[in-house]
Structure 1
Amino acid sequence: MIWRKVCLVIATIGLSALGAFSQKFGYVDTEYILSRVPEYKVAQSEIEALSLKWQEEIQQKYKEIEAEYNTLQAEEVLLTKEMKDERLAAIRKMEEDVKEYHKKVFGFEGLFFLKKKELINPIQDKIFAAVEKVAKKNRLQIVFDKSGELVMIYTDPVHDYTDFVLEELGLGDENDTIK
């Protein structure tokens, strides 16, 4: 009777351990997938154009500030102390405004971040939905992202589900045959 219980406990532990080791996993390369999504390329171009525009605006404002300093320096001998202090205060205010604008655009949750989020999130959501479908279809418990922070020393291509996700997104290669 005791042996039966011991055998039952051992069998239960063995099956539990076997279940833990029998989890199916795979990985995808989201960088590669994103490179194949046309909407992502368009979004990236729009983000880069906006970034350049904002950087040019900020550089232009700094050039204006530099010109104001140069003008002040050239006219300094003609100005009273009060006039000089007044102009310096105005220039410093311009500098503060530019710094504030820079922070508003490129700072934490600034316009650049919000625009990027607005354009990229729908694409990422579409990819994650495709990954989820592929994972469920192939009964995967875990899907890693090869291009993320996770370092993979070795990957067996048999576990690579990137092509399946591309196929799910309708971006697969017609020459590839996924089985």
Structure 2
Amino acid sequence: MRKTVLLMFLLLAVGVTANAQKFALIDTEYILKNIPAYDRANEELAQASKKWQSEVEKIAEEAKTMYKNYQSQIASLSEVQRGKKEEEIVAKEKSVSDLRRQYFGPEGELYKKRESLMQPIQDDIYDVVKEIATEKGYAVVVDRASASSIIFASPSIDISNEVLARLGYSN
């Protein structure tokens, strides 16, 4: 009997503690779609990417033309001339690869530009979410956009519109 009462008391205490924690939900995709600076940043990134891609394609086309010319002249070239042309073609192809890495690699210009444009927006969102969570006593704020295992969440715990309002964007 004593064990049963102790067990029931323990279960009640765990249940009360679990209910005391407050949770909130945000949808960063929704928030970002409603921030004009995010759209401008994406447009700027797209333009830069397009410019850099055309630059890379231009040099790649030059390398291709060099190779085609080499193929058509191969019979009339001496061994030394062939070696020199092959080295020029390889150097041009390497420059294409290097330029592609410089612009689009993991530490490339596009990555740096994305970081410089997006980080301030993400920092602002984080600061506002932290402020709201502190004020309202949320133990956890989950991002619906990155938490793919959320099947359903009550709209009453979604604070995305409040985040937008505090950032100065009403929706």
TM-score if structure 2 supplies the norm length?
0.90
Instruction: Please state if 1:67 is matched with 2:62.
Output: no
1:130 equivalent in structure 2: 128
1:141-179 CA distance string (max 9 Å, x none): 100111114321111111111111111111123xxxxxx
Return the alpha-carbon distance in structure 2 between the equivalents of residues 152 and 13 of structure 1. 26
* Partner SS for 1:39: helix
1:55 equivalent in structure 2: 53
Any stretches of 5+ residues in structure 2 without a counterpart? none
Q: How many Å apart are 1:10 and its aligned residue?
A: 7.9
Instruction: Please state if 1:172 is matched with 2:165.
Output: no
Instruction: Please state if 1:27 is matched with 2:25.
Output: yes
Note the 1:21-170 alignment, pairs <5 A.
21-170=19-168
Q: How many Å apart are 1:16 and its aligned residue?
A: 5.3
Any stretches of 5+ residues in structure 1 without a counterpart? 174-179
Return the alpha-carbon distance in structure 1 between the equivalents of residues 119 and 162 of structure 2. 21
Q: Is the 8 A contact 1:47 1:115 kept in 2?
A: yes
Count of equivalent residues: 168
Q: How many Å apart are 1:101 and its aligned residue?
A: 1.4
Which region of structure 1 is more displaced relative to structure 2, 149-158 or 55-64?
149-158
Note the 1:12-23 alignment, pairs <5 A.
14-15=12-13, 18-23=16-21
Runs of 4+ in 1 over 6 A off after TM superposition: none
Q: Is the 8 A contact 1:130 1:165 kept in 2?
A: yes
Return the alpha-carbon distance in structure 2 between the equivalents of residues 95 and 137 of structure 1. 57
